[in-house]
Amino acid sequence: MQKAAAQGDPGSAAPDPYAWLEDVGGARPLDWVRARNAVSEAALGGPAHDALRARLQGILDAKERIPYVGRHGDYLYNFWRDAAHERGIWRRTTLDEYRKDAPRWDTVIDLDALARSEGDNWVWAGVRYLEPHGTRCLVSLSRGGGDADVVREFDLDARAFVAGGFALPEAKSSVAWIDHDTLFVATDFGPGSMTASGYPRIVKEWKRGTPLQDARLVFEAGFDDLSASARKDLTPGFEREFVTRQIGFYSSELFLREAQFPNKLRKIDKPDDANAYAVRDQLLVELRSDWTVGARTWPQGSLLAIDVDRFLRGERDFEALFTPTATSSLDGVAATRSALLLTVLDKVKNRLVELRREHGAWARREVATPGIGTLGVSVLDEIDSDDYFLTVTDFLTPTTLYLGRVGSDERDRLKAMPAWFDPAPYTVSQFEAKSKDGTLVPYFVVMGRNAKLDGTNPTLLYGYGGFEVSLKPAYSGMIGAGWLEGGGVYVLANIRGGGEFGPRWHQAALKERRQKAFDDFLAVARDLIRRQVSSPRHLGIMGGSNGGLLVGAALTQRPDLFNAVVCQVPLLDMRRYHTLLAGASWMGEYGDPDDPAQWEFIGKYSPYHNVFKDKHYPAVLFTTSTRDDRVHPGHARKMAALMEAQGHAVLYWENTEGGHAGAANNTQQARMWALTYSFLRRQLA
């Protein structure tokens, strides 16, 4: 391998010639962006692109989509965008109405009207209710879709923001209700109050009617920690206050703040890399590594439970609610009034397990679910209800939403996504590729039933491989209409670094082992070629964020395997990633490039330092967002500028809004995806 560029070496005085593109809103960088956008739109535009864009816009705006809801009090709340509501409306209905094909909705906030009246490009960023039945909530609004947002108190009865109520200026804040007149607040309190990663490190207790600067200090994390936050469990009879010191992405400390000793925090005894939380009278602990307690060692990936009060008295006789196998992992935990619902991933397919505490012991029941694919569980109300929403989906079956209830396999079918494309011509297969070290890596292939295995199929390989994120089968009108209907093959790779097989699968590609994720992805590409599903002429790859780093590494390491690369909101300059926006928070994933020993392995794959003028690369489309305040747009800008200067085939498109998602509304999404699929069709067909 050629030596990484000199400017990437720690302590090197060699300047980065494209560092000026890191000035996100600077006049010169934005002129550069506008010029590249114009080139990309001209190159990829035309009648076919316009027709595809209209088709995708229709799917995104369709009123027949499932309106996913969350319950608070007597209402189900939903945030909705369509052609008439570009920025969206926050609305509510009752469960009885929701059961109907065309429910009657009441608008609570019209974001388009709010944006017009206030002259701000508001994007919905979520809501936090005063539980269990409070009439107040905290609404978060982002300018342009970034992670930073403003927080305002809202009266659900009056359907209006509370004059003189709780309000926070724009920041990456964490807020939680303690009671009607008190909040936990972690925000930007001024110089020194944020961590190196750009998140709050100070938590305060804020009383209504008092200035924010007078709020009472609760906890202060270190500058090099990731963040600090606090919350109160408002379940009647089980009210507890917890403070979290997030040391790194995978390490944290949890403290109990007891009412009788509010100035003294009691540390919960758990491994730093474990996740712990209380559900009523039980403390649950999810393990990322083996944990020896007394004479017992619990394996990584386990879910343990113990009575909270007994745990606080020093007892440690945990019960295992889940232990992984070679092919299974814990995918999610949801709590209803009387049960825990565990979503288990087995060979990258979901199943559902119900656990109920009966007579001092846990009773376990496998829940019969419709279809085999990906399951999603969300509870209606963990305080008052044993009902839950269940979504069922796979690559070819439109997502269906059911209302289930604990103790029964019977459920009510509430909603279903329309079939945006005809599934009949397609088939789904699951294969395994052998990686460089012999590890078998599963992947899914969606292709035409009559497609020939002659290497001529336009094929899109998608991957992520990081942060313990699992990629699972899911129905997508964008993929169906944008790619499959045009004769394309879609491939989803379950490479190491993800969570498909639990913490061990993730940790196998951490830091100095990162190359294994890239090896897995390249192995899948080679296996597709070996099976003659595709060939280098017709094979393209796509990934976003950490997946953008993945395809950037694949591009620079094996350019001979591909003919198109779509690199979305990516990390690419791994010498400076930890200095840009939230990058410092990911050193637990990638390592510290300021440490020469760690730069030794990071520098070998950093895409920005391993692209060279004298090598031939496939055509690349970089997409990002000016308003992405998580992964700096400078990564994509600089890589595109460098490759362009070296004479490689590069297109670049940057949305001026959108945050890390790349698009802030349906119109922007349709435009982004139409450009993306137009590029792939042009390169691979």
Helix 596-605 and helix 515-530, axial crossing angle in degrees, nearest 10? 20
Known catalytic membership, residue 476: no
Q: What are φ and ψ of residue 53, in 5° steps?
A: -60, -40
Instruction: Answer for the pair 176, 231: CB distance below 8 angstroms, yes or no.
Output: yes
Strand partners for 129? 137
Burial string for 573-602 (b: 16+ CB within 10 Å, else e) reads: bbbbbbebbbbbbbbbbbbbbeeeebbebb
**Continuous segment of H or E residues that includes residue 125:** strand 122-129
Measured CA to CA in angstroms, residue 259 lies from 130, 215, 232, 242, 265 at distances of 19, 17, 11, 11, 10
Say which of 534, 578, 660, 678 is annotated catalytic: 660
* Tokens coding 390: 């269940």
Q: What are φ and ψ of residue 467, in 5° steps?
A: 55, 25
Q: 3-class DSSP state for residue 626? A: coil
Tell me which residue of 443, 445, 444, 447 sits closest to 426, measured CA to CA. 447
* Tokens coding 506: 């993730």
SS (H, E, C) 491-524: EEECCECECCCCHHHHHCCCHHHCHHHHHHHHHH
Residue 164 has, within 13 A of its CA and on its CB side, a CA count of: 4
Instruction: Answer for the pair 480, 447: CB distance below 8 angstroms, yes or no.
Output: no
Say which of 470, 545, 625, 678 is annotated catalytic: 545
Task: Give the C-alpha separation, 121 to 619, whole Å.
Answer: 34
Other CB atoms within 10 A of residue 84 CB:
10
At position 124, the amino acid (one-letter code) is: W
Q: What are φ and ψ of residue 520, in 5° steps?
A: -60, -45
Distance of CA 289 to the CA centre of its chain: 23
| Burial classification of residue 644, based on how many CB atoms lie within 10 Å of its CB (0-12 exposed, 13-18 middle, 19 or more buried) | middle
Known catalytic membership, residue 660: yes
Q: What are φ and ψ of residue 63, in 5° steps?
A: -75, -15
Give catalytic residue positions.
545, 660
